């Protein structure tokens, strides 16, 4: 019994020591790829919950991936072990870059397992540019920054969106994709439609859908305004254009119901739809 307790205590001390160390250079070269792949997979998995994106902790994920590889290799954290397992910085920088490139191409458009037939990976380049810009700006923010700095960061993002040749803010947007959030009929017979354009809260809103498209819209399935469920909603492809925001307030795209602002996060952008079709 004493030996068992001693072993448990020793394992606890080892675990604590390991938990305080997150250094991939301790890994053998052949395990580095697995380590960075693990980090990529964990980050992509994390993106399924965008409501808490600011709570992402890179150090914790680093430790988690090292722990996953512990069964394949006894990770020695002593200085002498570091010398024998030493590798040049160049391969590691290349590995980091390749992983970051992979994430930049995928992370903003990862779809939940409930919606895996088609998703935001099918988005055209200009839609991906906008979504990546919003996501990357959110990632740069921390809980400790003040409201002025946060506002300033959104101003810079809004300016970048409006000045980008790749996005071309007010040119027609072709073959964008999204989930139908709601379809609403006014008493006058006008149809409003709102469509999610990414997995972290942004939508486009046509407040008076073209009469030629109403028949299609009436058959769309909604995710819902309150009991939100993407699994049952129609996934659509659409074309149209954004409306210009109030540039004096650094608002690139019009999302103003009450007042203009540069913030791009969780915004509903006014949009005129020219064409729309259901993909599934």
Asked whether the predicted pLDDT for residue 54 surpasses 60, the reply is no
Q: How many folded domains does the chain comprise?
A: 2
Instruction: Quickly count: other Cβ atoms within 10 Å of residue 3's Cβ.
Output: 7
Are 86 and 188 contained in the same domain?
no
Q: Give yes or no: residues 128 and 68 share one domain.
A: no
Instruction: Give residue 29's domain range.
Output: 2-109
Structure tokens at 242: 């954004």
What are the tens digits of pLDDT across the range 167-211?
A: 999 999 999 999 999 999 999 999 999 999 998 889 999 999 999
User: For residue 90, what pLDDT band results from cuts at 50, 70 and 90?
Assistant: very low
Q: Confidence band (pLDDT; 50, 70, 90) for 166?
A: very high
Two tokens, residue 115: 């919606």
Name the nearest CA neighbour of 196 among 173, 179, 211: 179
Rounded to two decimals, what is the model's pTM? 0.59
As a whole number, mean pLDDT of residues 227-238 equals 86
Distance in Å from the first CA to the final CA of the chain: 61
* Calpha distance 18→20 (Å, rounded): 5
Residues 145, 267, single domain; the answer is yes
Looking at mean pLDDT, say which of 17-26, 114-123, 193-202 comes out highest: 193-202
Residue 114 belongs to some domain of the structure: no
Last residue of one domain, picked from the residues 68, 84, 109: 109
Higher pLDDT, residue 70 or 126: 126
Q: Within this chain, do residues 139 and 94 fall inside the same structural domain, yes or no?
A: no
Q: 99-109, pLDDT tens digit by residue?
A: 444 444 444 44
């Amino acid at each position: 019994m004493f030996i068992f307790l001693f072993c448990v205590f020793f394992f606890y001390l080892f675990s604590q020591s390991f938990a305080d160390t997150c250094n991939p250079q301790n890994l053998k070269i052949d395990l580095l790829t697995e380590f960075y792949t693990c980090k990529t997979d964990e980050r992509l998995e994390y993106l399924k919950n965008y409501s808490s994106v600011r709570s992402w902790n890179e150090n914790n994920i680093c430790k988690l991936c090292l722990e996953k590889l512990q069964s394949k290799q006894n990770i020695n954290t002593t200085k002498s072990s570091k010398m024998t397992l030493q590798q040049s910085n160049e391969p590691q920088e290349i590995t980091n870059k390749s992983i970051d490139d992979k994430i930049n191409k995928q992370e903003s458009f990862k779809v939940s397992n409930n919606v895996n037939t088609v998703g935001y990976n099918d988005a055209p380049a200009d839609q991906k540019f906008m979504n990546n810009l919003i996501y990357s700006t959110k990632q740069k923010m921390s809980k400790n920054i003040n409201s002025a700095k946060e506002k300033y960061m959104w101003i810079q993002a809004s300016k970048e969106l409006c000045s980008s040749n790749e996005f071309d803010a007010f040119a027609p947007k072709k073959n964008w994709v999204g989930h139908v959030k709601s379809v609403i009929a006014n008493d006058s017979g006008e149809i409003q439609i709102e469509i999610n354009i990414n997995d972290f809260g942004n939508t486009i809103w046509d407040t008076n859908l073209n009469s030629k498209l109403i028949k299609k819209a009436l058959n769309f399935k909604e995710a819902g305004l309150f009991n939100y469920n993407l699994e049952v909603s129609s996934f659509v492809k659409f074309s149209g254009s954004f409306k210009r925001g109030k540039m004096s307030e650094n608002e690139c795209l019009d999302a103003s119901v009450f007042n203009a602002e540069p913030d791009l996060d969780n915004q509903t952008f006014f949009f005129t739809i020219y064409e729309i079709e259901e993909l599934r």
